[in-house]
Amino acid sequence: MKTTPPSSSIEDYVKVIYSFTEWQDKPITSTQLAARLGVANSSVSEMVRKLKDQDLVEHEPYSPIRLTAAGLTLALSMVRRHRLLETYLVRELGYTWDEVHEEAELLEHAVSETFIERMSAKLGNPTRDPHGDPIPDAGGHITMAPSHRLDELDPGHRGRVSRISDHDPELLRYLEQHGIGVDTELQVVGRRPFGGTLVIARLPSPGAPSRTDDAGHLDLGDEAAVSLWLATVGTHPGCTVQEPAGGTLMHPHATGV
């Protein structure tokens, strides 16, 4: 019984397939997958065949790609690794918000299951990473408050920032400069007729030091708006939204002790 551990390429493919469906539910296509991985379409076709052979995805030629239960388990394990690493780098090694993504991207393939669990314990088993993304527990369960993407909300809507996509460090620095982070309260003030630019107001946050431009208006472009999620004010976290096949989420790297 010789089960080869998944290569880091395979881990990346599965993770990207998963994240595509994390905040909406259309399955990913070859071309989208290729774009997100930064590889040629032909590479994706080949690799998807391999993923299918290993029963990590379902795929019929010329149709989109969906994770199997096994694929979802692996993906959640990778997401857990990534987000715990990001949290750790920020809390223990003084990384900033915008630096962590790249480092976590490399480390997630190298660390052992032991490392992950010791790290999680040391952090107090957090359920959110520094960008507000939910961290699956060791069993692959995710708990999170319901939230909506900023560009989908109507003007007038108020809420607390629940997550900020970590894919654009530039944007993260911009938001930080303007005092917007996880838990900042915002209100959607209006929307431009064309170009979809959003105008939002930042409300003075309860605990935070007050800033001269608090409650000022801020113009956000499209890229920014699709990167911010708001939770309804007063919403309490606690609903399980996703979990893997069953049993404990054990990364296949784990040595079977």
Partner DNA sequence: ACTATTATTTCGGTATACCTAAATTTTTGG
Partner DNA sequence: CCAAAAATTTAGGTATACCGAAATAATAGT
Binding site for its own copies (CB under 8 A): 89, 92-95, 99, 102-103, 106-107, 109-112, 114-115, 118-119, 122
215 binds, among DNA, its own copies, none (CB under 5 to 8 A by kind): none
Instruction: For 20, list phi and psi in degrees, rounded to 5.
Output: -60, -35
119 binds, among its own copies, DNA, none (CB under 5 to 8 A by kind): its own copies
Which lies closer to its own copies via its Cβ, residue 111 or residue 201?
111
The pair of structure tokens assigned to 177 is 């400069």
Taking the C-alpha atoms of residue 208 and residue 178, their distance in angstroms, rounded to an integer, is: 13
Taking the C-alpha atoms of residue 228 and residue 123, their distance in angstroms, rounded to an integer, is: 25
Which lies closer to its own copies via its Cβ, residue 7 or residue 114?
114
Q: How far is the CB of 121 from DNA (least distance, A)?
A: 30
Give, in order, the Cα–Cα distances in Å from 106 to each of 137, 248, 255: 21, 24, 21
111 binds, among its own copies, DNA, none (CB under 5 to 8 A by kind): its own copies
194 binds, among DNA, its own copies, none (CB under 5 to 8 A by kind): none
**Which residues bind to DNA, rule: CB under 7 A?**
4, 7-10, 12, 29-32, 37-50, 59, 61-62, 64
Q: How far is the CB of 46 from its own copies (least distance, A)?
A: 22
- DSSP letter (8 states) at residue 134: B
Q: How many angstroms from the chain centroid is the CA of residue 103?
A: 15
Which lies closer to its own copies via its Cβ, residue 108 or residue 137?
108
Which lies closer to its own copies via its Cβ, residue 66 or residue 253?
253
Which lies closer to its own copies via its Cβ, residue 15 or residue 163?
15
Q: How far is the CB of 94 from its own copies (least distance, A)?
A: 6
Q: How far is the CB of 181 from its own copies (least distance, A)?
A: 22
47 binds, among DNA, its own copies, none (CB under 5 to 8 A by kind): DNA
Secondary structure of 13-30 in HEC code, one letter for each residue? HHHHHHHHCCCCCCCECH
The 10 Å CB-count burial string (b at 16+, else e) for 68-91 is: bebbbbbbbbbbbbbbbbbbbbbe
- Tally of CB atoms within 10 A around 40: 10
Q: Where are the alpha helices (DSSP H) in the chain?
A: 8-20, 30-37, 41-53, 69-93, 100-107, 113-122, 169-177, 222-225
103 binds, among its own copies, DNA, none (CB under 5 to 8 A by kind): its own copies
Q: How crowded is the C-beta side of 36, counted as CA atoms within 13 Å?
A: 17
Q: How far is the CB of 42 from DNA (least distance, A)?
A: 3
Q: How far is the CB of 118 from its own copies (least distance, A)?
A: 5
The pair of structure tokens assigned to 146 is 């319901």
